[in-house]
Amino acid sequence: MRIRIRLFARLREIADSGDLERELGEVATAEQAWQVLAADFPALAEYRTVVSCAVNEEYARFDTKLHDGDEVAFLPPVSGGRDPGPGIRRPGEFGMRDQ
Amino acid sequence: MDRSATCGVYTDRMAEAAGSTRSSRDERQARFVVTFDRLDATRTAAAVERPECGAVTTFVGLVRDHNLGRRVRYLDYECYEPLAVKAFERIAAEALAQWPGAHLAIAHRMGPLQIGEASVVISAGSAHRADAFAACRYAIERLKQIAPIWKREHFEGGESWIEGATADPDDAAARQVAVARATA
């Protein structure tokens, strides 16, 4: 299947594009789309634990099954305030580096 | 994102004045907006005014001149537009469930914003002020948790992405944090 991948902010900069297409197997999930992308752009790999994903413009889990023509978006941590509150994951906890 | 996208200013009163029957789609377009245009708090407030409202509160988020000890020059916002609008709608539905009768309008600006410019405007209308204040506070807390919006800070000496929470609308703990702050 062929899918469209959207990237934003820091992820877009790493891939030098916010709009890509990739060929996946007949059965694939959002996770596999990410892995294919991370293979092409190794600098993406470390963001896996803090990235959210959306399939066809709706938030989705990484185990969501994809279909031909789907649009998968990978979203870096959003621009929340400095204190998102207890229990909320922060990029710093996962070794993300500022530029 | 289409830079010609406009702030969907289409208030209840305008619809009534035009004698039109406003569809729910039109109403959403008026109340949940991302735009490259300058924000207008009075328009956002007007979008939630209803006859049963005794209170409308409006929060305006501004670009400030300092952050993390740095002198900020300007901010550049980007978003995943369709999902951002859906996130605003979701936040409004959550607020309505929490504070029955409280309606929200949310407008967020995109692109480069100078110091002092409004990046986000949120209005909440409700029968009584307590719910209007709470729903408005809830919306900005929740927006920062789950709206797919990113800002690049350009400061004196460099620039960097400002990143907060990993967006997960189903994270009940995060939602409770927003409720707690709204009702503190």
Q: Which residue has the tokens 């959210």?
A: A52
Q: Give the DSSP letter string of B91-122.
A: HHHHHHHHSTT-EEEEEEE-EEEETT-EEEEE
Rounded to an integer, what distance in angstroms lies between the CA atom of residue A68 and that of residue A65? 10
The per-residue pLDDT for range B92-123, each reduced to its tens digit, is: 999 999 999 999 999 999 999 999 999 999 99
Chain B residue whose CA is closest to A77: B166
Is B144 in contact with A78 (Cβ distance < 8 A)?
yes
pLDDT value at residue B24: 64
Q: Which residue has the tokens 């009584």?
A: B128
**pTM, to two decimals:** 0.85
Q: Look at the alpha carbons of B17, B22, B27, B30 in this order and tell me if their dihedral is positive or negative.
A: negative
The per-residue pLDDT for range A14-46, each reduced to its tens digit, is: 999 999 999 999 999 999 999 999 999 999 999
Rounded to an integer, what distance in angstroms lies between the CA atom of residue B73 and that of residue B150? 17
Tokens of B14: 């305008």
Q: How many CB atoms lie within 10 A of CB B179?
A: 18
Distance between alpha carbon A63 and the CA centroid of its chain, in Å? 13
Q: Give the DSSP letter string of B17-48.
A: HTT----HHHHHHHHEEEESSPP-HHHHHHTT
Q: Does residue B32 carry a pLDDT above 60?
A: yes
Contacts of A10 (CB under 8 A, 6+ apart): A47, A76, A99, B150, B161, B163
Q: List the one residue out of B68, B78, B17 whose CA is nearest residue A78.
A: B78
Distance from CA of A42 to the nearest CA of B (A): 20
Chain A residue whose CA is closest to B159: A99
Tokens of A86: 């207890």
Q: What percent of chain A has pLDDT over 70?
A: 80
Q: How many CB atoms lie within 10 A of CB B105?
A: 27
Q: What are the chain B neighbours of A81 within 8 Å (beta carbons)?
A: 144, 164
Chain B residue whose CA is closest to A55: B83
Q: What are the chain A neighbours of B163 within 8 Å (beta carbons)?
A: 9-10, 76-80, 91, 96
Is A90 in contact with B151 (Cβ distance < 8 A)?
no
